[in-house]
Amino acid sequence: MGALKLSVLDLVPKIGEASFEEALQEAASLARHAEQWGYTRYWAAEHHDLVNLSCAAPEVLLAHIGARTERIRIGSGAVLLPHYSPLKVAENFRMLAALYPGRVDLGIGRAPGGSAHASMALSGNYLQHVAEMPARVRALIELLEDRYAYEDVPVAAKPVPRIQPELWMLGTNNKSAGFAAENGTGYVFGQFMSDRDGAEVLAAYREGFKPSALLERPRSIAAIGVICAATEQEALALSRRSALPEVERPGAEASEPQPQATRLITGSPKQVKSKLLELADSFGCDEFLVTTPVMSYAERLESYRLLASVCL
């Protein structure tokens, strides 16, 4: 595997005493710095009524960030499709794609993104909507391909941008990988919140991939937790205050037991780069979507800077 591509997955946390307004300002700051340092994408996650997470509407935040950046791709990680009309999702992201040509990614997922009551308040019977997910995905694809009809009457998602948003499916297991492969979309494996073997899941996606009008060949990204600091000791100290419990030390002795699935990589820049290169070879992908669960905006930003300094 050659050079790495790195992208940002931002859960848009409200850290410490920060206000929600400040949390959103920090999201824009992270995107601007990521662009400056050479990251490929900035993606924002969607959550509803969860403690200290600030982004319930990625498309709104992305419109704000798109206006404050110039080159970095902007996208959702992910829009939770069971809650929404495929037409409205297609309209939102085609609007973004028309505003920021060649820069927009539409990542979709099926998680509720909040508590049962928040999900019901948002869209009613969530389990019924999950059962409709295959039909909703098909409808979304048809809308992006301008071949959708409702009761045999053509319906278009407008505006129609010159360059369509890229469609990605996010998931944490073989089922989601198979779903992405069957529909011919890009696939993002959420290693940072999965105990599954990423190499196995991503191989299954590539093996089952069916070319589509949106994508001729399989494209995959691994979403991984990373905490990078000047020294391994500093990184481990930061990780003890992180939101991801499972830590693998790149410099650990070979005799130490290691978790099968790496959720969070910690270490110095060289240690983290070495581990990412190993994972790239194992996973068969050259891009990582990095989330950094550090409980300080300044230290989180420094982690992304240090990582970029050795990888980009």
* 278 neighbors 248 (Cβ within 8 angstroms): no
Residues with Cβ < 8 Å from 238, sequence gap 6 or more? 227, 229, 266, 294, 299, 303
CA atoms of 183 and 93, how far apart (whole Å) = 19
Q: What single-letter amino acid sits at 263? A: R
**Beta pairing partners, 104:** 74
- Eight-state DSSP code of residue 210: -
CA atoms of 40 and 307, how far apart (whole Å) = 13
Residues with Cβ < 8 Å from 172, sequence gap 6 or more? 189, 190, 193, 194, 196
pLDDT band at 174 (very low <50, low <70, confident <90, very high): very high
Exposed/middle/buried for residue 271 (C-beta within 10 Å: 0-12, 13-18, 19+)? buried
Q: What is the pLDDT of residues 5-62, one digit of tens each?
A: 999 999 999 999 999 999 999 999 999 999 999 999 999 999 999 999 999 999 999 9
pLDDT score recorded for residue 2: 56
Q: Can you tell me the mean pLDDT for 76-101?
A: 98
CA atoms of 74 and 246, how far apart (whole Å) = 28
> Pick the residue with more confidence: 247 or 212?
212
Between the two ends of the chain, the Cα-to-Cα distance in Å is 15
DSSP code per residue over 6-50:
EEEEE--B--TT--HHHHHHHHHHHHHHHHHHT-SEEEE---BS-
For the four alpha carbons of 22, 36, 269 and 62, in that order, the dihedral sign comes to positive
pLDDT band at 249 (very low <50, low <70, confident <90, very high): very low
Q: Is the pLDDT of residue 123 over 90?
A: yes
**Beta pairing partners, 226:** 265
Q: Is the pLDDT of residue 260 over 70?
A: no
Q: Can you tell me the mean pLDDT for 89-111?
A: 98
Q: How far is CA 28 from CA 12, 43, 60, 228, 258, in A?
A: 10, 11, 12, 21, 36
pLDDT score recorded for residue 103: 98
Cis peptide before 78, with omega less than 30 degrees from 0?
yes
* 39 neighbors 8 (Cβ within 8 angstroms): yes
Number of C-beta neighbours around residue 182 at 10 A:
15
- Give the pair of three-digit tokens for residue 211: 């070319």
pLDDT band at 243 (very low <50, low <70, confident <90, very high): low
What residue spans of 150-255 are helical by DSSP H?
174-183, 198-208, 232-239
pLDDT score recorded for residue 244: 52
pLDDT band at 247 (very low <50, low <70, confident <90, very high): very low
